Amino acid sequence: MKYHRQELVIGKEAQQLLKKSKVTIVGLGALGTVVANLLARAGINLILIDRDIIEENNLQRQILYTEADLNKSKALTAKNKLKLINKEIKLEAKEFHLNHKNINQISSDLVIDCTDNLKTRFLINDYCKKNNLLWIFGSAIKEEGQVKVFLPNEECLNCFLTETNLDTCELVGVLNSITSIIGSLQADLAVRILTNKDFNKNLTYVNLKNNKFRSIKINKNDNCKACNGNYKHLDKEDSKLIKFCGSNKYQITGKPLPINKIKKINEKFNNITLFEDGRALIKANSEAEAQTIYSKHIGN
Ligand SMILES: [Zn+2]
C-alpha cells in the first residue's frame, strides 16, 4: 500500500514499471536532493553521483542534509538518508567526479542532470546522444530556472548552447523555492517518461519574480557537432586541477592512496578531503595555495 495514492493517479501497471526502472542522478546538490527525495519515495531505483562534500551554505536548499552531515560525502549521505525513506529500492552511491573515463558507469533508463556546471552537461549530452539515452537538463539561479528533456534523435543541449558559456563561473545566489520547483519538474518528467505517459518536450522556463511559466520550443541545429556524431567531450582529458564553481574549493587528482593514509589526512586537516579514487578537495584562496597544500601534505 506504500504507493496507493500514486497508483490512483498513474495506475498499478505504471507503478510496476517504476519498480523496474533505474535512474542516474548526476549531482546531489539543490536540484539533486529534491529529485532523489521524490523519486526514491515514488519507488524508483537510483544511481547517485556526486564529487563533493556537504558545506554549511548548502543546507538552505539541499533538502536531504542536516547540520550533523557537514563535511561528509554528498553521494554517500544522500544514499543513507534515502535508505531510511524507502528500503525497497536499490541505491548506488558513486563518489566521483564524472568524466569521460567513468561515464560508462551510467547504466540506467534515464539520466537527470542536477549539476551546476556546463562542462559536465556537455559530457552528459555527448554520452546520451551516442548511447541513445534520454536525459533531463535542469538549472536554477536566483529566482529563475529551466528544465528540458533531451531525446536521442532530436535537438540536443549543444544545438542551443555553445562552449563560450563554459567560462562563466560567478557566485550568484539562489532561492530554495526555485530549486524545489525545478527539481520537482525534473522528477515529474522522469515519472512520465518511465511510465510511457505524454510529456512536454519543450524547454520550461520559470521565473518566480513575476510568477511566469513559459514553454519554449528549441529547434535542432543542422550544424550541431553532437547531432552530427562528433562527440568531442567524450575524449577530453580532465585537467588535474579544477576549481569548483562559486566556492574556494579546488579538486586535485593524483594517485589513489591507501585507506589508512586517507583517514589520517582527513582527520588531521580540515581544509583537505581525500577520496579513495585519488581526488583531493582542498579549501584554499588560490590555485597556487591549493597546489602548495597538496604537495606538502599529500604528495606530488
Ligand atoms: Zn545537437
Q: From ligand 1's centre to the CA of 112, what distance in Å?
A: 18
Q: From ligand 1's centre to the CA of 219, what distance in Å?
A: 9
Beta-carbon contacts of 208 under 8 Å, excluding residues fewer than 6 positions away, are 143, 144, 175, 177, 178, 181
pLDDT digits (tens, 9 = 90+) for 199-231: 999 999 999 999 999 999 999 999 999 999 999
Q: From ligand 1's centre to the CA of 136, what distance in Å?
A: 15
Intervals of the chain under pLDDT 50: none
Q: From ligand 1's centre to the CA of 221, what distance in Å?
A: 6
pLDDT digits (tens, 9 = 90+) for 147-187: 999 999 999 999 988 776 655 556 789 999 999 999 999 99
Burial label, 32 (beta-carbon count in 10 A; 0-12, 13-18, 19+): buried
Q: From ligand 1's centre to the CA of 127, what distance in Å?
A: 12
> Which residues sit with Cβ closer than 5 angstroms to ligand 1, an ion?
156, 158-159, 224, 226-227
Instruction: Using a cut of 0.85, tell me whether the model's pTM lies above it.
Output: yes
One-letter-per-residue 3-state SS of 86-130: CCCCCEEEECCCCCCCCHHHCCCCEEEECCCCHHHHHHHHHHHHH
Q: What angle do CA 199, 205, 210 make, to 5 degrees?
A: 130
Q: From ligand 1's centre to the CA of 248, what distance in Å?
A: 33
Dist. CA 267–CA 251, nearest whole Å: 18
Dist. CA 159–CA 10, nearest whole Å: 33
Q: Which amino acid is at 84?
A: L
Q: From ligand 1's centre to the CA of 220, what distance in Å?
A: 6
Q: From ligand 1's centre to the CA of 106, what distance in Å?
A: 21
The count of residues in the chain is 300
Q: Where are the beta strands (DSSP E) in the chain?
A: 22-26, 45-49, 91-94, 110-113, 134-141, 144-150, 203-207, 212-216, 241-243, 249-253, 272-274, 279-283
Q: From ligand 1's centre to the CA of 30, what distance in Å?
A: 27
Identify the pLDDT of residue 164: 66
Identify the pLDDT of residue 244: 84
- Indicate the helix (H) or strand (E) that contains 16: helix 12-20
Q: Which amino acid is at 295?
A: S
CB atoms within 10 A of CB 193: 19
Identify the pLDDT of residue 60: 97
Q: What are phi and psi of 33, to 5 degrees?
A: -70, -35
End-to-end CA distance of the chain: 56
Identify the pLDDT of residue 172: 82
Cα 293 off chain centre by: 28
Identify the pLDDT of residue 154: 97
